């Protein structure tokens, strides 16, 4: 009978097998046998994603955005009194959507049981370097590398001494020597052990080696009457530190800035059932709102009728007509940056029919048009509440740059994003855009500069525009010249 070499399988299958076998408390080999048996009997378990939580999860994790990436930690529990806090740490990590695989030292088993640890982590526990069931394919290397971070809590004086000197005579120290992942230690020991010259040397060496430490804290010891430096950090502190390493905070260069954006078309009513509209989809304005929000800004998006979901974390005001849009824009002031990406109808009918207009023998209804308010010019020319940076969009079908330059001067805004919306460009309603950023900056003595960007997706245009805004608000020399 031919044997199967796990190493020759591709990585996705290997990872699936490892996680499934760990979840079912079986060796990978046994798991393969089970899968084959189930396949033959026609009742195989569906190939669930690796990150799917186990069905028997006792405590559902708090709701978090599905955008939060999955991460995994190998948690090494050393033999100290504080090991009991690591049971809580497992839960704290899991509620942050961090997978936890636990390794216990022999000494740790004197303080917490493998059963408690596996029940909380929903995984089998690893505790033996020479375990034939997990070592037939070098399981300790897997534990060292199939994770994003290694946390040692409690990190005993003994474990730190071993690490500092490169020992690998048990599973925990072998993993710590074989990893290229970041290591976070949560030391816990008696204050005299912590202040001992040997521990000091070992800690200094580990820090030189790039190992990270959280704590210890100062406080009461388990030993009666003893207090001082050596208490392990609380589980929540360790979980927060691990999460910060796994998901470093994203830069928020527009934090504290209020950005006002308009998007989409407007609908100008003719009568209760008919309206004048245009082909704007709102995609570009919505993409800018999402990009500004991701950069940390407080975003208000005033949108005409569109078929798009509201961007997460953005305050959206839905309107129909140009006049409603202007009202909502004015209500949203003051703002630091205003971006007018909406395709606002230039005209509306002078007298809106109160009832549906009827076909009559008298001929066509006279539809007289009147001008709509010019939102961009109105806000650009405000004296008191004018946002420091006002950006307009110019949708042109001919003489794009020249028309956009004269729009910049006419409207009194600071920048114009000009785009060709002739039908052949596919911009209106499409997913891509080719734009030219026309700006009047203090750095250029008020000279008008034209920056032509290559064809991009509307999301890329949004990201690029937000990057320019960030530069402008952080670099004073790029301030608009008004
Ligand atoms: C009751 C008791 C409590 C202990 N607490 C600690 C401790 O908090 N920190 C520590 O470094 N060692 C502590 N030790 C000593 C360790 O258990 C011992 O050094 C052991 O070899 C550590 O093994 P490990 O590093 O492989 O887990 C304690 C020992 C006993 C008996």
| Domains detected in the chain | 7-34 (no CATH), 70-246 (3.40.50.1950), 258-348+368-478 (3.40.50.10300)
DSSP H stretches of helix in 6-150: 11-23, 28-41, 83-94, 114-121, 132-135, 139-145
- Nearest alpha carbon, ligand 1 atom 31: 80
Nearest atom in ligand 1 to 79's CA = 27
pLDDT grade for 386, boundaries at 50, 70 and 90: very high
DSSP label at residue 156: -
Nearest atom in ligand 1 to 232's CA = 8
Say yes or no to pLDDT of 57 above 50.
no
pLDDT of 124-142, one tens digit each? 999 888 877 776 666 778 8
338, 388 contact by CB (below 8 A): no
pLDDT grade for 5, boundaries at 50, 70 and 90: low
267, 321 contact by CB (below 8 A): yes
89, 185 contact by CB (below 8 A): no
Say yes or no to pLDDT of 6 above 90.
no
pTM for the structure as a whole: 0.58
- By CB atoms closer than 10 A (0-12, 13-18, 19+), residue 215 is buried
> 375 in helix, strand or coil?
helix
pLDDT grade for 147, boundaries at 50, 70 and 90: very high
Nearest atom in ligand 1 to 106's CA = 26
407, 416 contact by CB (below 8 A): yes
End-to-end distance of the chain based on CA atoms, in angstroms?
82
Mean residue pLDDT of the chain comes to 87
pLDDT value at position 470? 96
446, 440 contact by CB (below 8 A): yes
271, 95 contact by CB (below 8 A): no
pLDDT of 444-468, one tens digit each? 677 888 999 988 999 999 999 999 9
pLDDT value at position 429? 66
* Ligand 1 center from residue 111 Cα (angstroms): 9
Place of tokens 């794009």: 400
Of 80, 106, 220, the one to substitute when testing ligand 1's pocket (max ligand atoms within 8 A of C-beta) is 80
Q: What percent of the chain has pLDDT over 70?
A: 86
Mean pLDDT of 421-431: 69
* Ligand 1 center from residue 221 Cα (angstroms): 13
Q: Per DSSP, what are the bridge partners of residue 436?
A: 418, 452
Q: How far is CA 407 from CA 265, 352, 381, 441, 468, in A?
A: 19, 30, 13, 16, 20
Active site residue 24: no
- By CB atoms closer than 10 A (0-12, 13-18, 19+), residue 323 is middle
pLDDT value at position 189? 96
**Residues in the ligand 1 pocket, defined by CB under 6 Å:** 78-82, 105, 107-108, 156-159, 188-189, 193
Cα–Cα distance for residue pair 286/433, rounded to 1 Å: 14
Strands (E), 214-290: 217-220, 227-231, 258-263, 268-269, 275-276
Place of tokens 């990201």: 463
Nearest atom in ligand 1 to 173's CA = 26
Q: Percentages helix, strand, coil for the chain, rounded to the nearest 5?
A: 35, 20, 40
pLDDT value at position 257? 96
Which one of the listed residues 278, 372, 419, 433 is annotated catalytic? 278
75, 83 contact by CB (below 8 A): no
DSSP label at residue 94: H
pLDDT of 199-238, one tens digit each? 999 999 999 999 999 999 998 877 777 778 999 999 999 9
Say yes or no to pLDDT of 50 above 50.
no
* Ligand 1 center from residue 172 Cα (angstroms): 14
Annotated binding site for CTP: 346, 356, 373-376, 393, 407, 411
Cα–Cα distance for residue pair 208/204, rounded to 1 Å: 6
Q: How far is CA 297 from CA 156, 331, 416, in A?
A: 44, 18, 21
pLDDT of 404-423, one tens digit each? 899 999 999 999 999 887 76
Say yes or no to pLDDT of 53 above 60.
no
Say yes or no to pLDDT of 63 above 60.
no
Q: Which helix (H) or strand (E) holds 347?
A: strand 347-349
pLDDT of 314-373, one tens digit each? 999 999 999 999 999 999 999 999 999 999 999 999 999 899 888 888 788 888 999 999
* Ligand 1 center from residue 107 Cα (angstroms): 7
Nearest atom in ligand 1 to 159's CA = 25
Contacts of 275 (CB under 8 A, 6+ apart): 267, 268, 269, 320
- Nearest alpha carbon, ligand 1 atom 28: 80
Mean pLDDT of 417-446: 77
Burial 60-85 (b: 16+ CB within 10 A, else e): eeeeeeeeeeebbbbbbbbbbbbbbb
155, 78 contact by CB (below 8 A): yes
* Ligand 1 center from residue 71 Cα (angstroms): 29
Cα–Cα distance for residue pair 435/137, rounded to 1 Å: 55
Q: How many of the other CB atoms lie within 10 Å of CB of 156?
A: 24
pLDDT of 71-104, one tens digit each? 999 999 999 999 999 999 999 999 999 999 999 9
pLDDT of 238-295, one tens digit each? 999 999 999 987 889 999 999 999 999 999 999 999 999 999 999 999 999 999 999 9
* Ligand 1 center from residue 86 Cα (angstroms): 15
Phi, psi of 294 (to 5 degrees): -65, -25
Q: Per DSSP, what are the bridge partners of residue 389?
A: 337
Contacts 24+ apart (CB under 8 A), 24-31: 25/118, 25/124, 27/133, 27/134, 27/136, 28/136, 28/137, 29/136
Annotated binding site: 346, 356, 373-376, 393, 407, 411
């Amino acid at each position: 009978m031919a044997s199967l070499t796990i190493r020759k399988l591709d990585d996705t299958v290997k990872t699936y097998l490892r996680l499934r076998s760990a979840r079912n408390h079986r060796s990978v080999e046994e798991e393969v046998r089970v899968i084959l048996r189930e396949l033959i009997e026609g009742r195989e378990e569906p190939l669930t994603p690796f990150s799917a939580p186990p069905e028997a999860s006792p405590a559902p994790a708090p709701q978090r955005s599905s955008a939060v990436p999955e991460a995994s930690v190998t948690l090494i529990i050393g033999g100290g009194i504080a090991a009991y806090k690591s049971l809580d740490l497992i839960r704290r990590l899991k509620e942050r959507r961090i997978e936890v695989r636990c390794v216990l030292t022999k000494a740790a088993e004197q303080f917490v049981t493998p059963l408690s640890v596996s029940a909380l982590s929903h995984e089998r526990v690893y505790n033996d370097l020479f375990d034939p069931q997990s070592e037939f394919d070098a399981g300790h290397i897997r534990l060292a590398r199939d994770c994003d971070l290694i946390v040692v809590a409690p990190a005993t004086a003994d474990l730190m001494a071993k690490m500092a000197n490169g020992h690998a005579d048990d599973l925990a120290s072998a993993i710590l020597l074989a990893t290229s992942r970041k290591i976070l230690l949560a030391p816990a020991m008696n204050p005299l052990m912590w202040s001992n010259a040997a521990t000091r040397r070992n800690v200094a060496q580990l820090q030189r080696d790039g190992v990270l430490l959280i704590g210890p804290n100062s406080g009461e010891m388990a030993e009666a009457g003893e207090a001082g430096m050596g208490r392990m950090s609380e589980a929540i502190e360790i979980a927060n530190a691990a999460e910060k390493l796994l998901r470093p905070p994203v830069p928020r260069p527009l934090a504290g800035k209020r950005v006002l954006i308009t998007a989409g078309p407007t609908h100008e009513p003719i009568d209760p059932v008919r309206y004048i509209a245009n082909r704007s989809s709102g995609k570009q304005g919505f993409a800018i709102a999402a990009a500004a929000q991701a950069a940390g800004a407080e975003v208000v998006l005033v949108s005409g009728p569109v078929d798009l979901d509201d961007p997460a974390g953005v305050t959206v005001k839905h309107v129909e007509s140009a006049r409603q849009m202007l009202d909502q824009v004015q209500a949203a002031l003051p703002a630091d940056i205003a971006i007018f990406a909406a395709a606002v109808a230039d005209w509306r009918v002078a007298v809106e029919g109160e009832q549906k207009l009827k076909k009559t023998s008298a001929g066509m209804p006279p539809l007289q048009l009147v001008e709509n308010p010019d939102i961009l010019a109105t806000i650009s020319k405000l004296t008191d509440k004018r946002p420091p940076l006002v950006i307009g969009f110019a949708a042109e079908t001919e003489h794009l740059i020249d028309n956009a330059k004269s729009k910049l001067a006419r409207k009194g805004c600071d920048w114009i994003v000009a785009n060709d919306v002739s039908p052949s460009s596919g911009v209106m309603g499409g997913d891509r855009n080719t734009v030219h950023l026309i700006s009047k900056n203090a750095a250029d003595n008020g000279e008008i500069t034209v920056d032509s960007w290559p064809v991009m997706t509307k999301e890329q245009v949004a990201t690029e525009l937000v990057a320019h805004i960030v530069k402008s608000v952080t670099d004073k020399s790029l301030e608009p010249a008004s």
